[in-house]
Structure 1
């Protein structure tokens, strides 16, 4: 017997409906699982961005010749760079100075040791390559004093390198140096001799949550949004000590901090210029770049940045409050700049892409100059080509700072 089509349809409806419900339930569970994974991954990424972390090994010591005073490291884009560098180690030595590359192959790089290593020295294999070169202020062989800069959170340690009695041309000009993310003020020591030779006093500062200055309640970075206040306190310190004009110098995240000081400080009339080495000028560009390097899905990156910027997500991201990425985007705020800026950036930075640095030059060619390096990588421009790096600062300083009066305050 032939079953009428309508009857057959009615008979199939309960089964079809049950199948659809099962499929939708499975799809919902799968979708919920995917969303949960995305949320978890984005939270982890967000926390990693703002959590101060210990220095992580990025190379291995595979050979040490104490007779020839050479060291062999695994080959990375950094360990094969020409120039002078440092190496954080564990064992009988904690920090080594490294000289030129003597030999390399596809897997290793042999470099000259500039720190003498005795035959009894024992070093762990794991090590971290560094652009610092100088690790302590005493290594500069310049007079200095340890200082404490009072901030809203408490005293922030600093080193003060006076200009010297022979520097009579600009005794009232100071430079305040700001280190980058995950480092300390020792990162800035490379620049002190350049400014000392110009007759400029150097104040090398710390800021909240960097391991030396006081800890905030959250204990995390705000990527410059709050740290600038500690550097602003350093400007007040300089003013009380007789500074008539100050150049801000920032390295990496220290560049983001220095720019926030220039845009927000009550001491803007004191600022004569800004020097930026491998600076963060727009955090969203940096975070997106680093996420792509790590093959993080763009959806995770977008969620992480959104969570970091939201006050409601602060208990999860542990930021203590939303990070104002729009305020930290200095390309978008380029019209607010009032001080000459020198940017030193390598197009193969590998950590902070130079795109925003180029964009800032285009946005404010009247104020912003850029010295473009290549090969030099991130914050290792001094190490790679000390002469060019130093000459660039000296030339800019002579043209844009010594020959100009301090910028007028907008406050």
Structure 2
């Protein structure tokens, strides 16, 4: 029997139960959305710093060994004029490509500059490349293999001696590639009596692996190149030019700002360089249609210690320190930038901004159409002439 004054429990109104259910669903949905955002951001951040293998970006549609031609699926790269390379699998792992012979909406036929025999078998998936030369022997110039001692261990290099050995250029390759990327530039410097040292750096697949095995986007890799500058000085170099390609440009800029050998660095040549990583990462996120919130979260994760166990960076990457436009006042070496406004991977915006910030030190040769690190391939005469002219202006054209 109910005690006097007590009230029986009343069931909650239906609308209240509905509100609670809706709030529960919304909470779960929000948690799921935030979880997906965090997961996607970590994946994106990890991709940025993880050394990657070359990925197929075109397909071989036809191979005519009698006419020595190859037909590729059409992409913004495969349609470019000039000389290039193609990474393949099958009876050849790399072939050189010449000019475009014909094209339509979906395919491009190019001349083969590497002889392919009638019994050749190439798999359809292939990767288009601006390397052209993939082994130092192809330059037909004297060279020696060297090992550069760095804090992570011995880093392989190729040394192409020239002139009296007073002036050297150290070539620094980009992200996801190896030192063969730089071979195109060696003959230009060799003809001017400038010794070339083509180097590797930590985690690039040729040099030793760091503890984390990931890139620091130039924030630590410059130390390996600094060791190469020391190597050059011990071998008699009095003036050192540093040429960086793509991420190698970011490395060269950090070297310029931080090296104890700054007095020996005579200038930088930057080909399609990364000058500000935020600009590059935001551009690539938009190109891949990554939600803006996810890209912001990924960029933030790279810069924070709490995320480093997830991104596997081993610590925060200071993108402010890598933003050379913001640090332009600290620059002290003359710089030549070669960049295409149609780069397609590393936008030229930050390069233009660096010229505007330091017109007293920085010159820029603006290309069009050429795409990322393919300026030599697209217009070798202009590319080489720009370097020769700048070296002459700086008094670095050899003795």
Q: Scaled by the length of structure 1, what TM-score is found?
A: 0.93
Q: Which residue of structure 2 lines up, in the alignment, with residue 357 of structure 1?
A: 351
Task: Please say if residues 171 and 182 of structure 2, whose CA atoms lie closer than 8 Å, have aligned partners that are also in contact.
Answer: yes
State the 1:12 CA deviation: 10
Instruction: Please give the alpha-carbon distance, in whole angstroms, between the structure 1 residues aligned to 2:312 and 2:35.
Output: 19
Following superposition, the deviation at residue 24 of structure 1 comes to 1.6
Instruction: Kindly state the Cα deviation for residue 21 of structure 1 after the two structures are TM-superposed.
Output: 2.1
Tell me the CA shift for residue 124 of structure 1: 0.3
Return the alpha-carbon distance in structure 1 between the equivalents of residues 229 and 319 of structure 2.
Answer: 24
Structure-1 residue corresponding to 2:26: 27
1:245 counterpart residue number: 239
What residue is the counterpart of 1:5 in the other structure?
none
Alignment size in residue pairs: 389
2:306 match: secondary structure: helix
The CA distance in 1 between the partners of 2:183 and 2:109, in whole Å, is 26
1:51 corresponds to:
50
Deviations 1:13-58 (A, max 9, x none): 7444333222221111110010001011101101111111110000
Q: Is residue 156 from structure 1 mapped to residue 167 from structure 2 by the alignment?
A: no
Alignment of 1:369-408 (within 5 A): 369-402=363-396
2:35 corresponds in structure 1 to 36
Matched, 1:194 2:196: no
In structure 2, what is the equivalent of residue 177 of structure 1? 171
Match of 2:96 in 1: 97
For residues 253-308 of structure 1, what are the alpha-carbon distances to aligned partners after superposition, in whole Å with 9 as ceiling and x for unaligned? 00000000000001000100000000000001000000100000000000001011
**Distance in structure 2 (CA, Å) of the matches to 1:337 and 1:303:** 30
Instruction: Identify the residue that residue 256 of structure 1 maps to in structure 2.
Output: 250
Aligned-residue Cα RMSD (Å) equals 1.3
Deviations 1:174-202 (A, max 9, x none): 00000000000000000000000111000
Q: Which residue of 2 aligns with 1:289?
A: 283
Distance 1:377 1:125 in 2: 24
1:76-115 mapped onto 2 (5 Å cutoff): 76-115=75-114
| 1:72 counterpart SS class | strand
Secondary structure of the residue aligned to 1:268 is coil
**Secondary structure of 1:326's aligned partner:** coil
Residues 273, 401 of structure 1: 8 Å contact kept: no
Contact 1:272 1:401 in 2 (8 A): no
Corresponding position of 1:211: 205
In 2, Cα distance between the equivalents of 1:19 and 1:65?
A: 70
Unaligned 5+ segments in structure 2 are 1-9
Q: Is the 8 A contact 1:350 1:378 kept in 2?
A: yes
